[in-house]
Amino acid sequence: MVYDVIIIGGGPGGYVAALRAAKNGKKTALVEADHLGGTCLNRGCIPSKTLLKHAEVIESIEKAKSWGIHTGELTFSLKEMLARKDQVIETLRTGIQFLLKKGQIDVYNGYGTIHSDKTVSVQAKEQSQKIQGEKIIIATGSQPVVPPIPGIDEVNYHTTDTIFDIEKIPQSIVIVGGGVIGVEFANIFASLQTKVTIVELGDRIIPTEDEDASKALLSNLKKKGIQVLTKHQVAAIAENEAGKSVSIITDNGTEETLVVDDILLAVGRKPNVSAGAELNLKMNGPHIEVDDYLETSVQGVFAVGDVIGGLQLAHVASAEGLTSVANLDIKQKRMDYTVIPRCIYTNPQVASVGMSEVELKQKGIVYKAHQYSFAGNGKALAMGETEGFSKVFIDEKYGEILGVVMVGAHVTEMISQSSAYLYLEGTVDELAQMVQPHPALSEVLMESANALIGKGIHS
């Protein structure tokens, strides 16, 4: 079978690209070895956010006691929570299948391998078939990194792929890695009354985000009883009748051992690049190198999502998938990564867009910043969600908005407003004049903007 475009990988980069290509009149094939939806739907964004919602509800019930709302003893069923998680996943999988069928996209179940003549072998169990594509998009995603910790091969542990099918709630767990995934799971397990310890090699959690955001989140994690060990390295892991022992070393050489019920490795992900191995593609470290239009070093072969590195986020992969389709016939569209929001779904949440304060300093940009706390926001007080802040960075000369960081309730929804301002090259004056509803959490943006131009009302 000959296609205009073959897409390898049915995750958020691949299936979205397939749907757009089909709507553009392209005869399209999608190759996927596992479930449609990729890591995001099946082992990432969706199941984790479902469980995080469960955690949020549990925390809300506990908080409600101080408001005069009393319930009986709080109990929860992991089996029922995981069943709901599976139901959410299956609903979305079915939706993707429907859309692909509606778009008359041929779906091949199996592992795809690209050959130099632009044919793709699809290997499914013991059967193999070949299809031909004029253009090919690699969207094969990534998989968890398992660090070479001594003893790890002799111990049962979880990765961020397997943790969603955990059979029982552990009394204690060590999470190796204090990045986005690590802190999200720390929130989930803490709400389930698990004793959680995060071991992070760097000097702070969520090291890729704003330092003030990191401090705020750290403070909240500690309030929940989560132990956070920064500047610590896991030296060895072992397992015996007492449990799993995790030996950790500080940066000054002090060693201690934790004995826990379970271990979660959340130290990052590595790209799945085997689909294009025969093409001898130019690489950027472990990732496939692409040009500004997402084309690889082989003409007619594009790559999107985690396989090319950068911001390894589902919405980035989808945007790259759409961009690659726009460039199939003529190179006309580039990705603009400066306006893409970055979100952490802890409680409180963390969201940011544009340049961070570290980037601004590194680039020598003269900027002004203002930070406004949710503690002075009427809606936040009414909700009992006063933790967090908004911080706005602007160019000192022209007032152009360069970046925004938010920590607090529902900021992952509000950050899109800031993204729009960056996309439209908006100024702080425009943000200050924007009338926000009252009471609303988004008023913190207006307050920061007005303070930056010397017209602050509540600051």
Q: Which residues are catalytic?
A: 438
d(CA 201, CA 219): 18
* Pairing verdict, β 111-114 and 119-124: antiparallel
Q: How far apart are CA 134 and CA 5, in angstroms?
A: 6
Rounded to 5 degrees, φ, ψ at 367 are -140, 165
Alpha-carbon distance of 246 to 238, in angstroms, equals 7
Structure tokens at 269: 């992900």
- Tell me how far apart the alpha carbons of residues 386 and 376 are, in angstroms, rounded to a whole number: 8
Please report the DSSP string for 297-331 in residue order.
SSTTEEE-GGGG-SS--HHHHHHHHHHHHHTSSS-
Residues 6 or more apart whose CB falls under 8 angstroms from that of 441 comprise: 374, 377, 379, 380, 385, 408, 409, 410, 411, 414
Amino acid, res. 278: E
DSSP letter assigned to residue 295:
B
Sheet strands (E) in 163-281:
172-176, 195-199, 227-229, 232-240, 243-250, 255-260, 262-265, 269-271
- Round the CA-based radius of gyration of the chain to a whole number and report it: 24
* Of the candidates 10, 236, 192, 256, the residue with the CA atom closest to the CA atom of residue 112: 10
From CA 344, how far away is CA 351, in angstroms rounded?
6
Residue 190 vs residues 76, 78, 187: alpha-carbon distances, Å? 13, 14, 5
Closest CA to 140 of 308, 283, 366: 308
3-class secondary structure, 79: helix
